[in-house]
Amino acid sequence: MPGYEVTEPQLRCVLPFEAAPTEVSLLRKAATAQLKRWGMEGNVEEVALLVTELATNVLKHVGDGASATLILETRSERLRLEVHDKSRVVPSPRGLDCAAECGRGLHLLAALALDWGTEHTAGGKAVWCEVLLDPAHYCRRIARAVAALSGYRRVRGRAITPGGRKSAGLEESAVELIADLLHWTTSLGCDPDDVLDLAQTCYEAEADAA
């Protein structure tokens, strides 16, 4: 998996916790405090949301009071979050009801993180995700969106011509692409309103963290 490239961690913090509502809050505070000690204030809000989702996943699907561990590591330009627990049941967003809480958490994780996945361990499993340490990562999302929309226009036979109103063309393509994606998610049995709500939540979380 891309997230498991052989790269030695530069900084590492291990935070054991129990899956309980009060512990999730304390874990989030401990993780953000650690980031501040490492001088990574730009990632605090984003990581706080990811830690909440990862820890809540243990609470809901492993059990109240289950023992787990959060590991924070920096690897090159990425910050990696891993939550280890003793269950060998691997979560997956595929086939889940988009309105279900378990599905929403995993879809949010996938939307916020650069990469994420699961892996069996000797004692159970680990759910991990990675985010960029570069505070300009939000701009990279915009760059990816522009590249994707430019390609989308070409597929639809509406190439952007030099000197044309590129921003207006991309805005029109963005609306068309979003509509196509809603048709696609509906064909999978998802509620388009839930998909839009998730996208808005992800956007607001990243905008607040930027």
* Residues 71, 143 share a domain: no
For residue 72, pLDDT beyond 90 = yes
SS3 per-residue string spanning the chain:
CHHHCCCCCCEEEEEEEECCHHHHHHHHHHHHHHHHHCCCHHHHHHHHHHHHHHHHHHHHHCCCCCEEEEEEEEECCEEEEEEEECCCCCCCCCCCCCCCHHHHHHHHHHHHCCEEEEEEECCEEEEEEEEECCCCHHHHHHHHHHHHHHHHHHHCCCCCCCCCCHHHHHHHHHHHHHHHHHHHHHHCCCCHHHHHHHHHHHHHHHHHHC
**Last residue of one domain, picked from the residues 132, 151, 181:** 132
128 and 36: one domain? yes
Query: Within this chain, do residues 124 and 158 fall inside the same structural domain, yes or no?
Result: no
Q: Are residues 45 and 112 in the same domain?
A: yes
What is residue 13's predicted lDDT score, i.e. its pLDDT?
A: 95
Mean local confidence (pLDDT), 187-199: 86
Q: What tens digit of pLDDT does each residue of 96-106 get? A: 344 444 445 67
Clarify whether residues 78 and 39 are in a common domain: yes
Are 53 and 127 part of one and the same domain? Answer: yes
Q: How many distinct structural domains can be found in the chain?
A: 2
**Residue 138 pLDDT > 50:** no
Q: Which domain holds residue 180?
A: 137-209
- pLDDT for residue 168 is more than 60: no
Q: Does the predicted TM-score (pTM) go above 0.85?
A: no
57 pLDDT tier (thresholds 50, 70, 90): confident
Residue 143 confidence (pLDDT) above 90:
no
Question: Both 92 and 124 in a single domain?
Answer: yes
